[in-house]
Amino acid sequence: MDLFEAVFHGIIIASTPLVFAAIGELVVEKSGVLNLGVEGMMIIGAVCSFVVTIETGSYVYGVIAAIISGSIAASLFGFVTQYFLSNQVASGLSLTIFGLGMAALIGQSYTGLSLTEFPELNILTLNNIPILNNILFSYDYLVYVSIFLVFAVYYFLNKSKFGLILKAVGDNHDAAYSLGYSVKRIRFFAILFGGACAGLGGCYLSLVQTPFWVENMTSGRGWIALVIVVFSVWRPLWILVGAYIFGGITIIQLHIQGIGINIESQYLSMLPYIVTIFVLVFISTNKRRLTNNSPACLNKIFNADL
């Protein structure tokens, strides 16, 4: 039971950054924008939240810093793609490269510093139920925020007027514009939201999962988040499934090493990324499913002057 609880707890912790980053990117792509800069926004959020927390001693300020810094990084992408009409793929890749370099510069003098344990949820009435408390209520606040955010996005996209407008912009931006909706403004705010979520994902890495700063600590999680969006077929609730599957693979490979199974550690470290490639190949075989569910105007430039 102790091993099960440890594995389950580890999966939730490893999956939470992916949940944040993927749900933000899902909203961005639902608006018709493809932002490949998730990795860059995550690492910016990670370093800014860590620096602010170290300097102020407040985790609240650190989380706020992650949201703001991720949004600022996303705004750069938003301006060049929506108002200067630059290529979305090239701009997203540039944002990732910029974020990794900027984070290394900012965090240079903070390498080796560590933080205390992030506050956990403590429900006094459940403390007398050890198994239930350990499995469901022994996590930090951000875990529950990530789960709530997924359901909030589901409600927003499917039940609210603004969510339906955002999906309409992603499916047919010309028709949405003809009805009087500002396509660029809607997409820009979706990009800001995606940046804030990616910043939260990075913040979780540096404040909770590994509470110290290490250069390039995102280690490709931004790219995995992009795969999770495709894996979920742009459905919010499936983001949780995809994120927990990939997080589970990461944790299981660590426990395989821990129990002494004779497999080279390098192969086990490759496992999450190998699975990512196989998932992409498997999803790509069903073209109809992707076409029916993906936003029709994804990665298409909108210019009202044309």
**289 assigned to some structural domain:** yes
Q: Provide the whole-model pTM.
A: 0.91
The amino acid sitting at 274 is: I
Residues 243 and 18 sit within 8 Å (Cβ to Cβ):
yes
Note the maximum CA span of the chain.
65
> CATH number for the domain including 174?
1.10.3470
**232 assigned to some structural domain:** yes
Q: Residues in the chain, how many?
A: 306
Among candidates 241, 252, 249, 299, which has minimal Cα distance to 278?
249
Rounded CA separation 211/204 (Å): 9
Rounded CA separation 23/228 (Å): 9
**305 assigned to some structural domain:** no
Rounded CA separation 153/159 (Å): 10
Q: What is the CA radius of gyration of the chain?
A: 20
Look up the domain containing 92 and give its range.
Answer: 2-293
pLDDT value at position 167?
94
**128 assigned to some structural domain:** yes
**30 assigned to some structural domain:** yes
198 burial (CB, 10 Å; 0-12 / 13-18 / 19+) is buried
Residues 170 and 28 sit within 8 Å (Cβ to Cβ):
no
pLDDT value at position 273?
77
Tokens describing residue 158: 């499917």
pLDDT per position in the chain (306 positions), as tens? Answer: 566 777 888 889 999 999 999 999 999 999 999 999 999 999 999 999 999 999 999 999 999 999 999 999 999 999 999 999 999 999 999 999 999 999 999 999 998 888 888 877 665 555 556 656 667 777 889 999 999 999 999 999 999 999 999 999 999 999 999 999 999 999 999 999 999 999 999 999 999 988 889 888 998 899 999 999 998 889 999 999 989 988 888 787 766 766 666 666 666 677 777 887 887 777 777 777 677 778 999 989 888 654
Total structural domains in the chain?
1
**302 assigned to some structural domain:** no
pLDDT value at position 297?
92
